[in-house]
Structure 1
């Protein structure tokens, strides 16, 4: 599965994207974020905002409880603001 990081999430992780094989038990966006946090200090820092991090599965915005089944690409980005 391709993981993509944008804006300050990318800066904190230290890369724009990567290929990852998810372990058993990671089936939702929230579980993926928890797994990423445990991968090291850069990831922990990038995902410390938890629920405020936004995600898209195959270019469609989703909520944290969205299933990863069949997903090819997951993108993470900080909350967007308007004004």
Structure 2
């Protein structure tokens, strides 16, 4: 499955990129699976996307939970929680 990954704010800064195309292994079915797959890359990926870190996710520009199913061509975004003042 082909998807588009997008990274925002501090996630983008730490990864050094704002977007990336990815071809997922066949066992990746949810947004949470994508996060774990990216973590498995190690190094900065494991640090920035670690399960214990506060991180928001969106699928096709809709806020979502880790169990959200993905489909061909999905856009998955990762970003820190937003605070306002």
Question: TM-score when scaled to structure 1?
Answer: 0.87
Counterpart CA distance in 1 for 2:58 and 2:25 is: 20
Which has the larger share of helix?
1
Per the alignment, residue 70 of structure 2 pairs with: 68
Q: Report SS of the residue matched to 1:20.
A: strand
Contact 1:52/1:78, CA 8 A, preserved across alignment = yes
Q: Return the offset for 1:72.
A: 2.2
Q: Report SS of the residue matched to 2:23.
A: coil
**Which runs of 5 or more residues in structure 2 are unaligned?**
none
Q: Return the offset for 1:82.
A: 3.5
**Which runs of 5 or more residues in structure 1 are unaligned?**
none
The count of residues paired between Structure 1 and Structure 2 equals: 83
Question: TM-score when scaled to structure 2?
Answer: 0.85
